[in-house]
Amino acid sequence: MLFTRFLARQCLGNLRAARPSKLRLIHASASVSSENQVVIALGSNQGASVSIIKSAVNAMEREGIEIQQHSCLYETAPMHVTDQARYLNAAVKGKTTLSPFSLMKVLQGIQRQHGREEGGQRWGPRPLDLDIIFYGNKELQTEDLQIPHPRAFERPFVLAPLDDLLDDVARPSKTDAGGSSVDGRLSQARQIWISEFGGEALMGTETIKRVVPVAGDLWEVGRRTRMMGILNVTPDSFSDGGRFNNVETAVRQAQSMAADGVDIIDIGGQSTRPGADLLSPEEEVRRVIPVLRALTPIAQDTGIALSVDTFYSAVARDAVEAGAHIVNDVSGGTLDKNMFATVAALKEPVPYVMMHMRGDPKTMQSRENTTYTDVSTDVGAALQTQAEQAVQQGVMPWQLWLDPGIGFAKTHEQNFELLRNLPTVRSQLRSGCLRHAPLLVGPSRKGFLGSLTGRSAEDRDVATMAAVGAGIVSGADVVRVHNAKAGRDTILVADAIWRE
């Protein structure tokens, strides 16, 4: 252990070494002859921090910085000046032809655009903080700019995001025009993160928490299992069709689920049971929006998040404008080519639940769509591919929640296999942020449970809770259920055993 720490400190010392001769060569012009990889840290603790960080990343791209990879979001305790709000931190890896000094000026301009004033209290609160951590393999030291950042390797709120940037392929880069990689630097940072700070062992403490933005709040990932309650406002859903398909009955059911402890209410206006006919987006909007508007005051009073269950981009857009906090897409963006761009363009960055499905509700159970080499591996790889496409169209990786699609384009046996092997699904998520994305499973009252128990849909709650418990043990972060009271008890027991 002592030797490991010695090596980490040696790496840190090497990273801080100054090279004035290189400084003079680079400072001569605003750009360099080839693209160089850069790592930039982002922080905010004033204003709408989540939106500010997304806006800053978009601003970098408009300035010609090609963003290749993103970290997760981390909530961290302030340093030195402790009488201020906790910070939201992240990091990105990208490419630029700007010189280090020109890049610094561009980042300072982006800070000003987001309300950062020159000067101000050192270590004090700020709407946006952008720091160059690495610039290729270059080492600079001047009064105005030091690269690598001199204190980066002393700060968990920098090291944790840097760790996410290794092996991240969420946004494939363009052909490297000769620029030097920063992966060696990131590997050294990972060694320090693990040996000096404990790596994941530090996560979830007051020092640092991995978080996802939901309904104007930050939810810690992994702290406890979240429950999504199902509210079908349809006449033909397989389990409860017709029971809640008007505003009055839907509101009563939502109030009941809120009392039973749900974290999210998922409102669906279209049945996606096997063989279901597809509704138009207009009909789905007609069913969903009045219910969403009626539930908005309840959500505000209780802190519950509202989700819209749709694969239509137009419905997702209208629902978020009407008060939805989450978009839950059973098709993972495969049934509406505009879904990713629509989610990316929303005024507030909301979670996007990307589920795995092949075909559509009419065709998903065909032999072709239920044939896999290995269902857990294939589903994980397909989710990675869809996630890459979403990020390329502007969805932030930390907006993505992933769902293996229990009951969708899966045989009964494959559903059980997926619940057993959720770690295999996650192992196929090659990008750093996606490896930590919330994983949602929805086995509630589905046919594979009926095939085993011989019970009808409305009588499968006991079987559902067994599947929910198994999913939590296997790594699920969010479970989607019809019976919220039973779900609450199942989650409490499973979390007490497996999360505590």
Long-range pairs of 326-329 with CB within 8 A, sequence gap ≥ 24: 326/214, 326/264, 326/266, 326/350, 326/351, 326/352, 326/353, 326/401, 327/351, 327/352, 327/353, 328/228, 328/266, 328/353, 328/355, 329/353, 329/354, 329/355
Residues in contact with 45: Cβ distance below 8 Å, sequence separation at least 6, in sequence order: 78, 84, 85, 86, 87, 88, 125, 126
For every residue of 87-118, DSSP letters joined together read: EEEEEEEEEEEE-HHHHHHHHHHHHHHTTPPS
Q: What are phi and psi of 223, to 5 degrees?
A: -70, -45
126 is catalytic: no
Distance between CA 290 and CA 246 in Å, rounded? Answer: 9
Look at residues 271, 81, 70, 268 and name the one whose alpha carbon lies nearest to residue 170: 70
Are the beta carbons of 417 and 423 closer than 8 angstroms?
no
Q: What are phi and psi of 267, to 5 degrees?
A: -100, 120
Catalytic residue among 86, 226, 410, 446: 446
480 is catalytic: yes
Catalytic residue among 155, 480, 485, 488: 480
Please list the active-site residues.
446, 480
